[in-house]
Structure formats: structure tokens, C-alpha cells
Structure 1
Amino acid sequence: MAKRRKMNYASPSTNKIPVIFSIAVILIGLLVVMSSLKKFTHTPDQGAIEENVQMKNEEFINRLVPVAKELHQAHGILPSIIIGQAILESDWGSSELSAKYNNLFGIKSFSPNDDSIKLKTKEFKDGKWIEINANFKVYASWEDCMRDHTLLFVNGVDWDPYLYQGVLLASDYKTAANALQAAGYATDPDYASKIISVIEKNELYQYDK
């Protein structure tokens, strides 16, 4: 009688070992690849980001200083007020109104002869902030806008040519900022304190000398 040949069957646990080993090798390979990619991916740290923002802010100020000084000599308005308002109103020249239409100060248009654009804006009315549509002047450059802004203070408005005399005659930025708010340049009840804060934080008063 022929002997039956004995068959060897691997146990289930033995079959799993190569599979587990293969998975482990793949995972290790992925970790090595991801680690290598990190070396080529540069993520700027917070310090670098802040330094870049500071440089852009300084460039913004440096661009406005020459014209601000020119307007101070011609009309008496303090450079710190001009630059401080520009920073506050335009968010360092990054707002849509300033970046696209060169309007640094949120100057509204009330004449059909003006080159203007209608945009949404917020105003403080009856104790709360509301959103409205308003016409704003469009300028060829920031410098043109700065000159028109100063002429607004010099010439006033149709109903009161002396509305902004307090701003022009002020000998310091705090007095000028409060005169701006008193004249109703903006509806924000904290407008003067915000301008003063911007001026002091960025030491803009140095340009008034």
C-alpha cells in the first residue's frame, strides 16, 4: 500500500508575518519621504512674517512723508495727522478704496463731475454701526489724494468754509485729532483716540518737527 505523502500547511499566523513586514516597510518608506520633503518646504516663522509686515509699513510711511512735509509747509497741517489718517483709513494702503482707487482717506464724492466709485462702507449712527453705499472720489495717485485731502481742510465745505480750521491751526497732533472729530470728519466716536494711537505707536510725531 502506497504511503500517503504528508502535506505541510503553514499556520495562519505564519502567513501574516510577510504581510505585516511589507506594511511596516511601506510606512517607514513614507516617513522617510515626508521627512525629506520637509527639508525642501520653507515655512516662515512668526518673527519673519512680522518683520516683513514692518518693512511694508515703513515703506508706506516713507512714501507719504515727502508730500506730507510739503503740505505742512504750504498749509500748516501736521504731517503726523496726514500720515496717521492715511494709515487708519486705508489700513496701510491695503483697502480696496486705496489700493484700486488711490483714495487714502475715505474721501466721499458729492459732485457729479467727480471721478468716483460707489462702495459699501460702515458708519456709526444712532448708537450702532450700519453698512451703507456711498460714492468715493477716485484719484490718479496717492499723492494727488493727499493734496486734495489737505485742500478740504483749507477750503472747508460748502456750508462751512472754516469747518477744519481747528485742524490747520493745531500745534500738536492730539489737538488736531480732536479737532478732526469735532468737525465730524468721521462718524466713529473713537476716531480721535484711534488716530492718536496710530501716531504714537508709529512715532509719526517725529515728522512734525
Structure 2
Amino acid sequence: MPKRIKKQQHWTNKITRFIAKLILVILMIAGISKFSSTQTNDNPTSKTLATQVQQVTQYHFIRTIAPIVKTTSAPYHLLSSITLAQACLESDFGQSSLASQYHNLFGVKAYGDVPKIKLDTKEFVNGKWITISGSFRVYENDTASIQGHARLLANGTTWNPKQYASVLQAKDYKTAANALYTSGYATDPTYAKKIIEMIETYHLDQYDAKTPPTTP
């Protein structure tokens, strides 16, 4: 066999062995990475800790704003559970950028000459979700946001002062939640269901004023 052919075969064999080793190393690295990822994801302690931290954050938010909500809701005959549930849902327990940066806990839109910020938001229109740019109210603090929300439900909109009258008239949170949706507060067709689930999951109805029993 000519020397040139032998030399070519020699280099071909070396390249083949190198590629084989390289593939083996890649497979080993991929296997280790997958194993590490599986171990982390399947670690019940990590999951439990993350869940506990999330719950602590959520309940802290509720306990922080509950006294303000109760004080603000009473004069307008609003159910505190509804306001609390809306704040939790709309602001992701105070974690959304609209809430954390601009103190807008309820996704209240801005109209007229008021402090505002333009942000993208999702709306359910013609049977599907779309992203639009909207102007939202900016508040000085969370208390101002809660007070503004109460006034909105009590006074309605500039084009319909009675828009949320059915929410004010509701005697229980389920009726009020459905009234919010039918009154046009949100476009999400599952909005009432989400509000009710929020109230029942976090027992927010405990903050509603209890009607004293009628003396016969």
C-alpha cells in the first residue's frame, strides 16, 4: 500500500477517534446537566420553601391593605372582600409593575387631566385576547389607590354614574363579583369566577362587615 494512502488512513482514524470521544463527552455533559436539573426540580424541600415564601408574601399583602380597605369600603357600603380580591388579582398581590411602581392596585384606567402612565395590557375582545396600549392612573400610595377604587365604584364613570350600582347593591360577594363583570369593570369572561375563587381561597369574606341580627 502506498505511503500516501497509509498516511491518509492514519489521519482518518485519528479524526474518527477524536469525533467519537467528543460525542461521548457531549453526551456525558448532557446527562449530568439533565440529572442535576431533575434533582433540583424534584426536590420537595425547594418546592415547599418556594411555596411558603409565596404564601407569606401574599398574606402579608392582604393583611397590610385590609385595614385600609375596611375603613374605605364602609361609607360606600362596599364589600371589603370584593375590594381585597380585586387588589390581589389585578396587582398580583402588589407585585405587578403597575402596583409596585405606580401604586395602582386595581388596573384603573386614566381619563382626563390626571397622573397617568401608558402601559401595554391585555383585553378580551371579540372572543380573543389582544394586547393594547392603555393609560393607567398613577397614585401617590396604596391608600390613594384604594380610595380611588371605592369612589369609582360608588360614583361610576363620567359617561355612566350608575355603572356599578349593582355592585353596591349586592349583599354577598358572589353577587357582587358577577355584577362587576356585567357592569363592565373587566373584559375577562372569567373575571367573576376568579374574584370568587380569590375570596374563598384566602377567606377574604372574614373582612366583610357582619350585619347584626334583627331583634324580633
TM over 0.5: yes
Name the amino acid aligned to 2:168: L
Asked if the contact 2:104–2:142 (Cα under 8 Å) also holds between the matched residues in 1, the reply is yes
Q: Deviations over 1:3-58 (max 9, x none)?
A: xxxxxxxxxxxxxxxxxxxxxxxxxxxxxxxxxxxxxxxxx622122111111111
**Superposed CA RMSD:** 1.3
Match of 2:174 in 1: 174
Please list every run of 5 or more consecutive structure 1 residues that lacks an aligned counterpart in the other structure.
Answer: 1-43
Match of 1:52 in 2: 53
Name the amino acid aligned to 1:138: V
Cα shift at 1:166: 1.0
May I ask how many residue pairs the two structures share in their alignment?
166
Provide the rounded CA distance (Å) in 2 between the counterparts of 1:54 and 1:126: 36
Counterpart secondary structure, 1:189: coil
Q: Deviations over 1:121-180 (max 9, x none)?
A: 000001100000000000011111000000001111122111111111211100100110
Match of 2:118 in 1: 118
Asked if the contact 2:73–2:150 (Cα under 8 Å) also holds between the matched residues in 1, the reply is no
Provide the rounded CA distance (Å) in 2 between the counterparts of 1:58 and 1:187: 27
Match of 2:133 in 1: 133
Cα shift at 1:80: 0.4
Matches within 5 A, 1:92-107: 92-107=93-108
Provide the rounded CA distance (Å) in 2 between the counterparts of 1:121 and 1:73: 31
Name the amino acid aligned to 1:153: L
Match of 1:86 in 2: 87
Counterpart secondary structure, 2:199: helix
Cα shift at 1:120: 0.2
Name which one, 1 or 2, has greater alpha-carbon Rg.
1
Q: Deviations over 1:174-208 (max 9, x none)?
A: 01001100100011111111100111111101111
Match of 2:155 in 1: 155
Provide the rounded CA distance (Å) in 2 between the counterparts of 1:181 and 1:197: 15
Q: Normalization by structure 2: what TM-score?
A: 0.75
Match of 1:195 in 2: 195
Cα shift at 1:72: 2.5
Match of 1:108 in 2: 109
Counterpart secondary structure, 1:130: strand
Name the amino acid aligned to 1:54: Q
Name the amino acid aligned to 2:106: F
Name the amino acid aligned to 1:152: L
Provide the rounded CA distance (Å) in 1 between the counterparts of 2:96 and 2:57: 14
Match of 1:33 in 2: none
Match of 1:5 in 2: none
Match of 1:39 in 2: none
- Using the aligned pairs only, state the percent identity: 45
Name the amino acid aligned to 2:195: I
Asked if the contact 2:166–2:179 (Cα under 8 Å) also holds between the matched residues in 1, the reply is yes
Q: Normalization by structure 1: what TM-score?
A: 0.77
Name the amino acid aligned to 1:201: T
Provide the rounded CA distance (Å) in 1 between the counterparts of 2:186 and 2:109: 11
